Amino acid sequence: MGYDVYGVKSKSETGNYFRNNVWWWRPLWNYVCENCEDIMNEDDMDAGCWNDGKRIVSGKCADMAERLQTLIDEGHCLRHEAKYEAEREQIKKDNEDNELAGCYPFSTENVQSFVNFLRESGGIEIC
């Protein structure tokens, strides 16, 4: 299972399509919501928890991309990744019998891919 995100009026091939499986999507979307809560409304943030075709308009996507890029450029995203991954490793160690423990990775590279997509998407539809 995964999240397929389509560009509504994509400006380039980069803005056509973005996909993460559920393991990668949840931490990415949580990071987006935590850092763009003043850009998105509650319905927009909830949209990322379901893959039912909710759209987020172009202007919001552009603002989200700008915010996320600033966080990457300032090192915030990389610091978040280091802290998150250290906590995830500890969860895996503490729950060795549970193969699903700690299965939700986070990376700055994934955030950058999402930023690149958002910039070119012309709005998004989460399916």
pLDDT in tens, 17-76: 999 999 999 999 999 999 999 999 999 999 999 989 999 999 999 999 999 999 999 999
In single-letter form, the type of residue at position 102 comes to: G
Task: With 0.85 as the threshold, say if the pTM is over it.
Answer: yes
The span from the CA of 27 to the CA of 103, in Å, is 10
* 109 alpha carbon, distance to own chain's centre: 11
**Number of domains present in the structure of the chain:** 1
Domain of residue 7, residue span: 2-126
Question: What is the pLDDT confidence band of residue 126, given thresholds at 50, 70 and 90?
Answer: very high
- Phi first, then psi: what are they for 5, rounded to 5°? -120, 125
Taking CA atoms, 19 is separated from 11, 16, 51, 91, 117, in Å, by 18, 10, 11, 26, 10
For the stretch 36-53, pLDDT in tens is: 999 999 999 999 999 899
> In this predicted structure, what is the pLDDT of residue 44?
96
- Cα separation, 42 vs 59, in Å, equals 16
* 35 Cβ contact partners less than 8 Å away, ≥ 6 residues apart: 67, 68, 71
